[in-house]
């Protein structure tokens, strides 16, 4: 019914970014998908993910966060490191809210359908899904794939380190895949302090009144399964464990195969079952 790629939206701080949408005939549900840290909508197997959901009558809207480092001319990888450096968690929440509004408009106004709208996020996107989903009445269910449970712990704890960051104005982190030194300006930390209460994943979980599914690999070295267990404790739910699987469920970028990995297929099957039950 709808199938387009690389449509422009105006995100946080008026920065333009891109989104894709695929809604099959007679859909039973719709999801908005949020990528993770150093991620983008066309990473690895995300296009195969979109096709899988569409084959199961679930529409997908996936998007690049406005300050993920991509551009409207090159949505893959990180041509704009200054935008990456200017990113902040409040921007990611705002972008997600804007995209949820667009997804809601597409299904209710353009298609005149009355189907549920869900959030799925991977890694940091999983944390954003919990934060936004807990507050947004338009969201019915939340799925977190290898999601984070806390934001504060991702910042330095040593006061001297924070002061050095403030004085320098920037810290960098190496992207092992692209070999880029990717900046984080001090505004990233200042924004967290300003919005700390709003950015508490634990508080969002403890107030959550919606169904949530967590899926985590027990060999995840990037976001420990202990974070999934923490969220499960706060939400009184169980974690769907993908045995022997890592942070990206054995998917990588670029992904040349026309099939997803066994681990990621298990993730997709569990997600579809949860969303349509």
Q: Are 151 and 130 in contact (CB under 8 A)?
A: no
- State how far Cα 145 lies from the chain centre: 9
Residue with tokens 């690999």: 217
Q: Are 8 and 72 in contact (CB under 8 A)?
A: yes
184-217 pLDDT, tens digit per residue, is 999 999 999 999 999 999 999 999 999 999 999 9
241-268 pLDDT, tens digit per residue, is 999 999 999 999 999 999 999 999 999 9
Task: Give the C-alpha separation, 112 to 107, whole Å.
Answer: 6
38-49 pLDDT, tens digit per residue, is 999 999 999 999
Domain residues of the chain, as ranges? Answer: 2-152+200-276
Q: What pLDDT is stored for residue 277 in this prediction?
A: 87
- End-to-end CA distance of the chain: give it in Å, rounded: 23
Task: Give the C-alpha separation, 143 to 273, whole Å.
Answer: 11
Handedness of CA 39, 194, 188, 165 (dihedral sign): negative
Q: Topology of domain 2-152+200-276, per CATH?
A: Rossmann fold (3.40.50)
Sites in the chain below the pLDDT cut of 50: none
Q: What pLDDT is stored for residue 12 in this prediction?
A: 98
What is the per-residue DSSP string for 80-105?
Answer: -HHHHHH--HHHHHHHHHHHHHHHHH
């Amino acid at each position: 019914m709808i199938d387009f790629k690389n449509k422009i939206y105006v995100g946080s701080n008026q920065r333009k970014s891109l989104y894709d949408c695929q809604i099959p005939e007679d859909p039973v549900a719709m999801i908005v998908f949020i990528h993770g840290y150093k991620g983008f909508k066309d990473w690895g197997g995300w296009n195969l993910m979109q096709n899988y959901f569409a084959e199961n009558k679930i529409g997908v809207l996936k998007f690049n966060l406005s300050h993920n480092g991509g551009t409207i001319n090159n949505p893959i990888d990180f041509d704009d490191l200054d935008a990456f450096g200017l990113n902040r968690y409040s921007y990611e929440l705002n972008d997600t809210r804007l995209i949820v509004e667009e997804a809601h408009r597409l299904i209710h106004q353009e298609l005149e359908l009355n189907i549920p709208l869900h959030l799925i996020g991977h890694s940091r996107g999983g944390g954003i899904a919990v934060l936004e989903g807990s507050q947004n009445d338009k969201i019915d269910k939340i799925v977190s794939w290898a999601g984070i449970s806390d934001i504060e712990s991702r910042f330095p704890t040593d006061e001297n380190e924070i002061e050095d960051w403030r004085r320098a104005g920037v810290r960098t982190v190496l992207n092992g895949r692209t070999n880029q030194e990717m900046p984080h300006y001090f505004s990233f930390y200042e924004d967290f302090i300003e919005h700390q209460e709003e950015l508490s994943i634990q508080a969002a979980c403890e107030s959550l009144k919606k169904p949530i599914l967590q899926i985590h690999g027990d060999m995840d070295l990037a976001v420990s399964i202990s974070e999934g267990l923490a969220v499960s404790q706060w939400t009184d739910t169980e974690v769907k464990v993908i045995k022997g699987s890592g942070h990206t469920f054995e998917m990588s970028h670029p992904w040349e195969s026309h099939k997803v990995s066994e681990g990621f297929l298990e993730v997709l099957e569990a997600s579809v079952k949860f969303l349509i039950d």
